[in-house]
Amino acid sequence: MLQNGTLALVGSGEYLPPMEPVDRYLLSYVRGERSERSAARVVCLPTAAGTEGEKTIRYWTDLGNEHFTRLGVPVETVPVIDRAGANDESLAARVRSANFVYLSGGKPDYLHKTLADTPVWAAIVGVLAAGGVVAGCSAGAMVFGGRIPNFPTIFPFRPAFNFLPGAVIMPHYDEFGDGSFAQIIRLALGNDTLLGIEGNTALVCADGKYMALGAGSVTVWTPKAKTRYTDKQEIKWP
């Protein structure tokens, strides 16, 4: 599914100072160190917060712009906050012009419903196909798994984009730990795998491999075993 690109799934902390080392590493994939591209062009999408009001959308817009400006790369926010925006060809063209797309947090089910089968989603997939980076935090990470838990009741699971088949992404994992909530989700998954991603940490999928990156850890919890991976460790999954 990733073809030539790099997918980064972040537990929490998007656009905040503790994430700068992770994002600098990801930017290196589009600045000539790990690809033929020579200059990063970042677009941020606050889509997952589309139901949370103008103040929240402005918060994510400002935070993302300030973050990547500090990192010294061109950045713009593409205001896709609803289905009409996701179907807007002019907004999709702005996404296609980038080689680094960042989906910030909010509501995963809303994010999936808004983007599915739209020109903007096709543009995001196109960035990956062309060898770029797509990062998603919290809700933005969850939509890349096989299914999305229907919070707060968990059931029924909702569709996701299935870039990691057989996996359910659990961001904010350090806030839940291995407690009862995580265990309930793990049991509900049957043969699927729970991927728990802590804050200020990314699960990076690149070059056909998986790696933990950042201050925390990534937990891979299959029906048979639970394994924790820390910064720069290669993840043995699937």
Residue range 117-144, pLDDT digits in tens: 999 999 999 999 999 999 999 999 999 9
32 alpha-carbon distance from chain centroid? 22
Q: What share of the chain is helix, strand, coil (3-state, %, to 5)?
A: 35, 30, 40
Q: Which tokens sit at 183?
A: 């265990």
Across the range 146-174, mean pLDDT stands at: 88
Tokens 């200059």 label which residue? Answer: 39
Amino acid at 90: S
Secondary structure of residue 44 in the 3-state scheme: strand
Query: Which residues does residue 171 pair with via DSSP β-bridges, in sequence order?
Result: none
Closest by alpha carbon to 103, among 126, 135, 67? Answer: 135
pLDDT at 234: 97
pTM: predicted TM-score of the whole model, two decimal places: 0.94
Tell me the domain boundaries of the chain.
6-235
Determine what percent of the chain is predicted with pLDDT higher than 70. Answer: 93
d(CA 3, CA 56): 34
pLDDT in tens, 58-105: 999 999 999 999 999 999 999 999 999 999 999 999 999 999 999 999
Architecture of domain 6-235: 3-Layer(aba) Sandwich (3.40)
Q: From its phi and psi, is residue 22 left (phi > 0), alpha (psi between -120 and 50) or beta?
A: alpha
Residues in the chain: 238
d(CA 224, CA 218): 17
pLDDT in tens, 180-238: 778 888 888 999 999 999 999 999 999 889 999 999 999 999 999 999 999 999 998 88
